[in-house]
Every structure is written in structure tokens, then in C-alpha cells.
Amino acid sequence: MLISPQGRKYEFSLSIVAMWTNNQAEYQTLIRGLELLKEVRADVVEIFGDSMLVINQLAGSYECRSEVLITYYERSMQLLKEFRDFLLEHVPRLHNEEANRLAQHASGYQPMLNTISAISSDDWRKEIVDYLKDPSKKFERRVRFQATKYVLLEDELYYRTIDGIILKCLGDDEVKSLMGEIHEGVCGSHQSAFKMKWKIRRNGYYWPTILEDCFKYFKGCQGCQKFGNIQRAPTSAMNPIIKPWPFWGWAIDLIGQIYRPSSKGHKFILVATDYFTKWVEAIPLKKVTSANMTDLEFLKQLLPIRVQCLHQGSLMSLQLVWDLKY
């Protein structure tokens, strides 16, 4: 930015080379500005910059020893000697807002909206901001309770943590941009949802549904789906094995009545199936009585096992245990 003695401002934006360092960009901007001043035949100039290194090297307070910057330093000193007089002054970056705005414009950076006027009616911050701006108005009890956790500073809404740290509250559009930068931006490493939430709060930002939104973004990331670890978990829940080894338990069932009976008069079939191996044993019966079904000697004919009967009222359950002695 060039300012004439009459106060007229002339703005210029230059695209920098991707391989330049910050100091190279500062020197290149200064050189271009001095060349423009020579074109308009300026005689005495005042130079204000926020780079302490560049200003002090040109003023002689610092010595330029960098092989990368020595060419820029010599070109800048050559241009300064062509003016009758010049003044170098360092200004803090906070007081160099106009130059920063031009630099952001030239680099294509779009700063996020940070004013309360940009909050839409459907934004989650709207009710809280309205209450904090004028608590005398009538609001729902829910809003008044939520507002105790927030503070309004210079028309910006901040969330106050239990430790007293304040975090800047973001809207929906800002949330999407921030999650993209945190997860897959220049310094992003495709972290999980929990790590994303930690980094967002660590960088000083907040909104009520951080973890839920991070999970949605994390699961929908194309890069994580293409190049992430293969998910080897079963698609459905695994069923536990009731009987852990062969012949530990049997299921007994009765088939019949069969028409027509066999030549020996058998009308029923008593079947036992092993739970583990699905081994089947069966014996034919001419008739079915309660005495037969509860007779241990009779059941031993069906299975090479020892039978333990557990009576529970009118119900009977059979636990058939493999006889290791068999």
C-alpha cells in the first residue's frame, strides 16, 4: 500500500512464488514497492513493515548472513540509495491490518465472518446472543440457563469451560470449514473423531455437537475409506457357543406317531442330537410312556453318556454330560 503526502492510498496485490519463505516474500514486496515509488519519482519515503528482521537488516541493526536473503538485501539497499532520504519503522502486525488484508486477498484466503450481524435466524447462537445483548427481554428458561455458560466479548460469542477458558463459538458454515481443515487440511492427518474434537477445543473453538459432527465427517471421509485399515470386525454380532466341546450336551426330541408302523410295531422315534457336532443318535419305540422317558437305563441305550436329571417342579430338564470313562 502506497500513501501519497496528500493521504491518497494506492493498493497493490502480488502473487508470491510457492517456494518463497516469509522473509523472501517480505523483501520481494518491499522491492516492488520501492520500484513503484521510483516510477512516480518519489524523493523522500517512509517505510513501515511488520517484519522486524527485514527492517533491522536494512537499518543496519542486524547483519544479513543468509545466502537466500543476501540478493534481496542488496537489491533493496540499492533502491533505497536512489532516494534523497528514507525512514524505516517497524509496526506490530496488529497495526498493519490493511496490508494483511491485501496479502490475504492476493493469496486467495477467505477470512471467516466474525460479526454478530452474520448470524442467521436459524443459527444455534442466535437466542443466546440476543439474551446476552439484552437480558431484560423475556426468554425461555432453557435459554437463560444455557446463557450462563457463555460470554459476549466485542460482539463475539464465547463458551466458558469449567476451567475458565473461553472458546470461540462457530456457526454451521464455519464448522464445516474448520473440520475440513482439522481432518484433511495442510496439517491434518485424518484423525479419528475423538482426536478431531480434542484438536478443535485445543485450538479454541466450540459448538454443542462437536463429537457428533466429527463422527459424521470422519465416517464420510473418502480418503479414510480408500486408504484406511481394513475393518475386520464381523458384520453381525457373533453368537456364543452354548456347548464348548463335542458331546457336552444333547438335545432330545420325539418323532411320531408314524403311520403306518414298522413290521415290528414301532410307531415313534426318540432322537438325540449333539449340540456341537450335530451327531445324531436314534432308537425306535412301540409306545411312549413317562416311565421310558425318565428311566436312566433306557436312556443309556440311546446315548453312550451318563444322564443327570434335574427336576424343577412339574418340568424336567435333562443335562447330558459326556462320560470321560466311556
Dig out the grid coordinates for 118 from the structure. 452474520
Share of the chain above pLDDT 70, in %: 79
Secondary structure class of 205 (helix, strand, coil): strand
In this prediction, residue 104 carries a pLDDT of 61
If you average pLDDT over each of 54-68, 114-128, 289-303, 310-324, which comes out highest?
A: 54-68
Q: What value does the mean pLDDT take over residues 20-34?
A: 84
Q: Which residue has the higher pLDDT, 165 or 232?
A: 165
Residue 62 has pLDDT above 70, yes or no: yes
Residue 13 located in a structural domain = yes
**Is the separation of the CB atoms in 273 and 280 below 8 Å?**
yes
Residue 11 located in a structural domain = yes
Round the CA-based radius of gyration of the chain to a whole number and report it: 41
**Burial profile 150-160: b = 16 or more Cβ within 10 angstroms, e = fewer:** beeeeeebbbe
Answer yes or no: do 103 and 30 share one domain. yes
In this prediction, residue 311 carries a pLDDT of 36
Residue 45 located in a structural domain = yes
Answer yes or no: do 43 and 72 share one domain. yes
Answer yes or no: do 13 and 97 share one domain. yes
In this prediction, residue 274 carries a pLDDT of 81
Task: Indicate the pLDDT class of residue 205, thresholds 50, 70 and 90.
Answer: very high
Alpha helices in the chain (DSSP H): 22-39, 52-59, 70-80, 97-107, 126-133, 141-146, 172-184, 193-202, 210-219, 222-227, 290-294, 296-302
Task: Indicate the pLDDT class of residue 108, thresholds 50, 70 and 90.
Answer: low
Answer yes or no: do 144 and 180 share one domain. no
In this prediction, residue 300 carries a pLDDT of 63
Q: What value does the mean pLDDT take over residues 85-89?
A: 88
Answer yes or no: do 148 and 179 share one domain. no
Residue 243 located in a structural domain = no
Tell me how far apart the alpha carbons of residues 139 and 133 are, in angstroms, rounded to a whole number. Answer: 12
Task: Indicate the pLDDT class of residue 326, thresholds 50, 70 and 90.
Answer: very low
Residue 130 has pLDDT above 60, yes or no: yes
Answer yes or no: do 15 and 89 share one domain. yes
Q: What value does the mean pLDDT take over residues 9-36?
A: 80
Residue 201 located in a structural domain = yes
Residue 89 has pLDDT above 50, yes or no: yes
**Burial profile 285-297: b = 16 or more Cβ within 10 angstroms, e = fewer:** beeeeeeeeeeee
Answer yes or no: do 43 and 140 share one domain. no
Specify the CATH number for the domain of residue 13: 3.30.420.10
Distance set, CA 224 to CA 107, 212, 324 (Å): 29, 18, 53
Mean pLDDT in the chain? 78
Answer yes or no: do 176 and 203 share one domain. yes
Residue 245 located in a structural domain = no
Answer yes or no: do 14 and 78 share one domain. yes
Answer yes or no: do 276 and 189 share one domain. no
Domain that residue 73 falls in: 2-107
Q: What value does the mean pLDDT take over residues 246-256?
A: 79
Domain tally, the chain = 4
Answer yes or no: do 12 and 65 share one domain. yes
Task: Indicate the pLDDT class of residue 207, thresholds 50, 70 and 90.
Answer: very high
Residue 88 located in a structural domain = yes
Q: What is the pLDDT of residues 268-312, one digit of tens each?
A: 888 888 888 888 888 888 888 877 666 656 666 665 544 443 333
Name the domain boundary from 86, 107, 128: 107
Answer yes or no: do 165 and 203 share one domain. no
Residue 244 located in a structural domain = no
Name the domain boundary from 141, 169, 197: 169
Tell me how far apart the alpha carbons of residues 274 and 268 are, in angstroms, rounded to a whole number. Answer: 20
